[in-house]
Amino acid sequence: MKNYSLFIDFDYTITTDDVGNRFYTYFSGGKNEPLVKRWLNREITTHECLTEEARLCRGSRAEFIEYVDKFEIDHGFPELVRLCSEAEIPLYVLSDGLDFYISHILGKYGIGDIDIYSNKALFDNGNLKIELPYWTEECAACGNCKGARIRQLKREEDEAIYIGDGLSDLCGAREADLIFAKDDLARFLSEESREYIEYENLFEVKDKLIGILNSARM
């Protein structure tokens, strides 16, 4: 019987919108948009993009929290968490987003006790700075290389499942044995001729994962 570890992105994977992008655009007054275009064209690294986006943001911690409070999660996520718990599959959130909004949004839905690996926000008199505690020289492209996190966290005999949607998920997907992808991540994987399961929401992922687990037990 196969064993699995599950790794999942946060922005626009657990959430129904790209919280980080909306956040940086709002609090920078749109000044971040040229940076994002350069990042999508792979002209600058995630590290460079995020650091500069944070530098452009102005606001208090209270204003930041009030803004992110409006974002919602994919309602299939609690069921996916429950499935992983019942099947004894370790679940990890891997994100290039910021710790404060991930914790706040999950807390709104009573979701806690989950291992989260993300960037950290520092609030300083109306300025926002970020720390990238999981940045590695081995992967200069990412702020938090999800491939490196999978290599670090996956149990030795497990197959890695990855769920994501965008460019920052590419390293994680490349390290996974089973990939659920949508939007930009699906396009990038198609360009690399990599196999993946396309999905629209996490209810679909949960249902497909149940079928995979049942087949593995046969």
Phi, psi of 214, rounded to the nearest 5 degrees: -65, -40
pLDDT in tens, 3-53: 999 999 999 999 999 999 999 999 999 999 999 999 989 899 888 999 999
CB atoms within 10 A of CB 203: 15
Question: pLDDT (tens digit, 9 = 90+) per residue, 183-201?
Answer: 999 999 999 999 999 999 9
Interval 100-134: pLDDT, tens: 999 999 999 999 889 999 999 999 899 999 999 99
pTM: 0.95
pLDDT on residue 217: 65
Chain segment 69-101, per-residue pLDDT in tens: 999 999 999 999 999 999 999 999 999 999 999
Token output for 144: 């938090």
For the CA atoms of 46, 47, 50, 56, what is the dihedral angle to 10 degrees?
A: -130
171 versus 136: the higher-pLDDT residue is 171
Task: Place 141 in a pLDDT band, splitting at 50, 70 and 90.
Answer: confident
Structural domains of the chain sorted by starting position, each given as residue range(s) with its CATH number in brackets = 4-217 (3.40.50.1000)
pLDDT at 218: 56
* Cα–Cα dist 196/165, whole Å: 12
Residue 13 confidence (pLDDT): 98
If one counts every other C-beta atom within 10 angstroms of the C-beta of residue 22, the result is: 17
User: Per residue in 62-71, pLDDT tens?
Assistant: 999 999 999 9
* Cβ–Cβ under 8 Å, residues 162 and 187: no
Contact 180, 26 (CB under 8 A): no
